[in-house]
Structure 1
Amino acid sequence: MAAQQDLRPRRVQALPGRTLGRGLHQHLEALGGDRSLGLSRQVRPGQRLPAREAHLATAGHREPPAPRVVTRWILTRPETLTQIEQLRLKAILANCPELDALTGHVRSFAQMLTERQGERLPQWLDAIRQDALPSLHTLAAGIDRDRDAVIAGLTLPWSSGVVEGHVNRIKMLKRQMFGRAGFALLRKRVLLAQ
């Protein structure tokens, strides 16, 4: 078995002829004020920074989270998010009113779904139409086309999901038996293939 790799961070060594390094760090300390602004003025585009200066340039300036991460935060129950995730989501929603409205609609639909409150669907659709969110308007139009079925799905405890796999299995058996035997053999095969 090969020896395990040392996963500790290594100190970055300055390359020969490199203009950045300790001299730049001392120069920035002499400038005073915000080091990251001074550093960004000194570095040419495309030039790489040593680890210490790169850390100073990004200190206090976090990158925004990826859209996939924000989507996960919105779709997760708020009480299961960590405190840091809740604070970051709150900051994002404070800066984007459209995303804040979307979050409210998503969470109210999730509550309707989990608590079987299908009778609230018409009010939810009206609330969506009042916001300027074109993607949700498309969703509302699709739900309106089959409103009774959606309300039944959100209200009733029964589901046809259990039989979906059986229908596909029967269709597959029917395709396999096509032209080979009559209904009697197909019936036997369907009944015995469970």
Structure 2
Amino acid sequence: MITRRDFIVTTAATVSSPLALQAAEEQHVYLPLKALPRIRTLSAKPTGDGRLLLFSDGPETPPKLIRSEALERAFGPGTDLVLQQPDHWRMIDDGWFAEEDLYEPAEFEDSAFHVWHANYRPETEAHDLLYDLFQDQITGPFGARIPSLGLELGEHPSTPRYATAKLDGDWCLPHLTAEVAERTSWLVVDGVIAAGELER
């Protein structure tokens, strides 16, 4: 029969063992949330010359990100290096970090601003999504034209990166909508032309 004293001594010895300490620590380990893939929607706006500029439903300006120190405090050193900006946004939306742990990327002062322009700005994201989808019809690395769709994909010589997808006119929108729907279900062209908005 085990006595209360034996139970306390045995429990204390077990709890202080390296395996027990490791198990206790692992119970409190949290992994950063990763952004889940989601359907992206493309819309169009006039450019002023009769053409249409396509843009995604991504953020219009760089949303807040989590400070590196806050990420390291929560998940350990180097965490910031393995996360993408949408991962930050998902954790922020889910309330994992307080306002003081966040910051807004500023133009030319933060590499995160350039990362957002290069990947998540609505116009650039539309270009990249269509570039990947129509890879079988693209031969050059810096631009492409798909005549049957009236679609032009172009990289502009600018820093930060700026890439665009343009249609020759509103008559192209139904053709692009149908072609995209035939190729994939994770990208949708909504067919709506935003009024009064011009390319930058």
Q: TM-score when scaled to structure 2?
A: 0.27
Larger fraction in helix: 1
Q: Which has the higher contact order (CA 8 A, sep 6+)?
A: 2
TM-score w.r.t. length of structure 1: 0.27
Compare CA radii of gyration and give the structure with the larger one. Answer: 1
Which has more strand, going by share of residues? Answer: 2
